[in-house]
A and B are shown apart, each in its own frame.
Chain A
Amino acid sequence: MDNVYLDVSELAAPEPMRVILNALTGISRGQTLVVRHRQEPKPLYPKLIELGFSYQVQQSGSFYLINIKRRD
């Protein structure tokens, strides 16, 4: 699987959201955007669903890893 990594953990609002949305435009089918964030970006989730993406969240220490890919 082709993964694209994005670390937004040290960005102040609203940059994490902006950077993630911009990165999504470049994600094709089969690719996964792996986002590393310092907190769970719950306002992002409804947007992802709306845009046709699915996501999985894992906690890694004090960070969150959100795996985002296009829904089939």
Chain B
Amino acid sequence: MNLAGLSFDNIPPFSLPLRFFISAACFGLLCALIIGIGGEELWHSRWHPYTLALTHALVLGVFTMVMCGATLQLVSVLGGQSLPRVNLIANTTLIGLVIGTLSLIAGFIYAQSWLLVLAFTLILLGISLLLGAILLSIGRTNQQQHSLKVMRLAMLSMLCLLIVAGLLLSDRLIGSAFNQLKQLTDAHAGLGLIGWVCLLIMGVSFQVLPMFHVAPAFPHWSQRFLPLSLLVLLLGKVCFSALTISPYLMAIIDSAITMLVLIYSGVALHVIYRRKRKIPDPSITLWYVALITLALCLCASLFDFYLRLSPLIYASLYCIAILSIIVAMLVKIAPFLAYIHLQRQCGINFEAFSLLPNVHQLMSKSGIKLLFYSHIITIVSLLATLLMPLMYMALSLSLMVEFFVLLVLLFGVTRHYRKISAAIARV
């Protein structure tokens, strides 16, 4: 891992990313509620209002919320400079995402177009502001970290996703004028799940796996080649889907995209396997679960001509893999950020250094284990629900427990941080 250029001097206050993480946990609880209310029908079609509501609650409310919070911090650490007007940007993004996502969920469930328009406007405002500030900050820095370059690609994907979302909204408002609903929806889903989410996870993992798990750096070729190729293929697919091109060519592009993500999964598994100090760690286990689930899901999709599984199954498995990674990252990133801010507060006071906690004092091992087990129960419940949709209440309850535990852990980090910060201030 290249530590050149890591800087902890110009990072935004700890409360900023934490607000995003706590909001994400709250949206997780909302996802559980949607599953509980939506019932069995939610699992029969991706076009069901509750299915659409759940998809966006998860991808925007949980995944994007966590990614925005983490990116806000990581860009400053990797780039060596804080974002301009960081408080204003972060709060505007947070408000836009929270109210926008809630409006979107309500818009789908109650079939109210004005709510969808409101949602699109707020989410566009919030995300564009953050993306613009981050792209400007990355553009100004001399740092050439691969993670920063991949974040830039993820943001480009998000911008394209927002454009497609605008087209989908127009299609809905003025009634199938484009006659491209399925292609636009597939493009939207691809740019979101594979472009934005997967690319960001790739970029962040290039940094966090070596940092938090004493793993070797990802091979240079994987950091340079995989993310860029993935985005190029994804954008190519989006453009070609608007034209009438051979379905065989589209199938080849789909397979190539699948192979790239499979290669990433394999390389990441190898990097984790080669880590030093192979002590039991729930975070590492979650990474293994996520990457193996991802690999199995992608392998199955390559043989879909034979398996003929519902797209909802692939999407569910993909999302649970992403959620596993997000939980694995959060239990490392949250206490790490708290520690960095406390260390900065110590300045050059030697007496204060003795007050600096180890990360398990900020987020307990037992709490992390509880979160891990509740996540495993969620995975089992999801698999059961996919096989028998009448099991949906078990999934709803397990998800509710999991996100409640996460919320408690995050508030715990905040509480310990404030206590130690006050002690350092007294020294």
Q: A-side interface residues toward B, CB under 8 Å?
A: 9-15, 17-18, 21-22, 24-25, 38-43, 46, 50-52
Contacts and interface: CB of A to CB of B under 8 A. Distances in A.
B213 A12 contact: yes
B340 interface: yes
A62 B213 CA distance: 17
Contacts of A17: 343
Contact of A22 (B211, B347, B348, B354): B354
Contacts of B277: 10, 12
A13 B116 CA distance: 43
A14 B9 contact: no
A40 B214 CA distance: 14
A68 B6 CA distance: 20
A12 B350 CA distance: 23
B276 interface: yes
A28 B75 CA distance: 37
Nearest to A52: B348
A57 to B, nearest CB: 12
B289 interface: no
Interface of B: 1, 3-9, 211-214, 276-277, 336, 339-340, 343, 346-348, 350, 353-354, 356, 358-359
A7 to B, nearest CB: 12
Contacts of B213: 12
B211 A21 contact: no
Contacts of A39: 1, 3
22 contacts: A10-B214, A10-B277, A11-B214, A12-B211, A12-B213, A12-B214, A13-B336, A14-B336, A18-B343, A21-B346, A22-B353, A22-B356, A24-B350, A25-B350, A25-B353, A39-B3, A40-B4, A42-B4, A42-B5, A42-B6, A46-B9, A50-B347
Contacts of A52: 348
A13 to B, nearest CB: 4
A51 B358 CA distance: 21
Interface of chain A, helix or strand or loop or mixed? loop
Given A10-B277, A21-B343, A40 B348 contact: no
Contacts of B353: 21-22, 24-25
Contact of A50 (B8, B348, B358): B348
A10 B276 contact: yes
A14 B3 contact: no
Nearest to B208: A13
Contacts of A13: 211-212, 336
Interface centre among B7, B348, B353, B358 (most CB of A within 10 A): B353
Contact of B356 (A18, A43, A51): A18
Contact of A15 (B4, B8, B358): B358
Contacts of A46: 9
Given A10-B277, A39-B3, A15 B359 contact: yes
Contacts of B214: 10-12, 38
- 8 shortest A-B CB distances, which residue pairs? A13-B211, A10-B277, A25-B350, A21-B353, A14-B339, A10-B276, A42-B3, A43-B6
Interface centre among B1, B3, B211, B340 (most CB of A within 10 A): B3
Contacts of B212: 12-13
Contacts of A18: 339, 343, 356, 358
A25 B354 contact: yes
A52 B4 CA distance: 22
Nearest to A15: B358
B2 to A, nearest CB: 8
Contacts of A21: 343, 346, 353, 356
